[in-house]
Amino acid sequence: MKYAVLGDIHANLEALTAVLEEAERLEVGRFLCIGDIVGYNANPRECLEAVRGLDLEVVTKGNHDEQASSDMELVGFNPQAARAIEWTREQLTDEDRVWLAGLPYRQTIGSRITVVHATLDMPHMWGYVFDKFSAEVSLGYQFTQICFFGHTHVPLAFVKHGMVTGGRYEEVRIQPNHKYLINVGSVGQPRDGDPRASFVTYSPDDRLVQLHRVDYDVATAQGKITKAGLPERLAQRLAYGR
Ligand code: ZN
């Protein structure tokens, strides 16, 4: 059985559709979702419907999911993100909001895998893991061999075997007595300079995690952002992967 791990979809239906087609081609059986299904882009309801229709093992809550499903004052968001959250609140139905608000911050699958949006030390505080120092803090609260996470929109893998090391990856072979904290990148708003949608597959039988990048119809996603009256910067950044 092969899993696909998807995160930071951010209402980008063109990217999500391309990723799901690739997952089918790769014969993925089940899905894990690390959250931020909505926010930034123009198809929150369609992306929610697509995710809820998947054979989902687990799904956790992201910061945009939390804000879009509440009436909380927007703190800690840049003006474009805040505008997109306000717009998203107007799009979602009460049922969507209840579903998003009910998502857990972290989920564990058996004894091997944990899924979280941001960090394991304080999942509700939305910290960023960009380096081995912040990775080490999160790894201190990780009681499974592998944790998949997102939030930075940059795919990086950290390994703890005595010391913590980390960096860019294309695949990770899971070794005994090592612990892994793996950022799956972003489906809907990549920020590592590569505009292609990002996700990973995990095959427990082969003990192999693989990163996948998928081309999608960026122009259509951008056109929808403009038409919705969302900030133009949100459309532009999709072309650069920033
Ligand atoms: Zn995000």
Distance 10 CA to ligand 1 centre (A): 7
CA of 222 to the centre of ligand 1 (A): 17
The pLDDT of residue 164 is 98
- Using CB atoms within 10 Å of the CB of residue 121, give its burial: 0 to 12 exposed, 13 to 18 middle, 19+ buried: middle
Residue range 201-213, pLDDT digits in tens: 999 999 999 999 9
Residue 90 confidence (pLDDT): 96
* Ligand 1 centroid to residue 105 C-alpha, Å: 14
In this prediction, residue 96 carries a pLDDT of 97
How many domains would you assign to the chain?
1
What is the pTM assigned to this prediction?
A: 0.97
Q: Sort strands 113-116 and 146-149 into parallel, antiparallel or unpaired.
A: parallel
What pLDDT digit, counting tens, does each position of 75-107 carry? 888 999 999 999 999 999 999 999 999 999 999
The pLDDT value recorded for residue 77 is: 85
Tens digits of pLDDT across the chain (242 residues): 899 999 999 999 999 999 999 999 999 999 999 999 999 999 999 999 999 999 999 999 999 999 999 988 888 889 999 999 999 999 999 999 999 999 999 999 988 999 999 999 999 999 999 999 999 999 999 999 999 999 999 999 999 999 999 999 999 999 999 999 999 999 999 999 999 999 999 999 999 999 999 999 999 999 999 999 999 999 999 999 99
Ligand 1 centre to CA of 176 (Å) is: 31
Residue 229 Ramachandran class (φ > 0 left, ψ -120 to 50 alpha, else beta): left
Across 16-41, b (16+ Cβ under 10 Å) vs e yields bbbbbebbeeeebeebbbbbbbbbbb
CATH number of domain containing 219: 3.60.21.10
Cα–Cα distance measured from residue 242 to residue 227, given in angstroms and rounded to the nearest whole number: 21
Measured in Å, residue 177 CA sits from the centre of ligand 1 at 31
Q: What is the DSSP letter of 171?
A: E
Domain that holds residue 225: 3-239
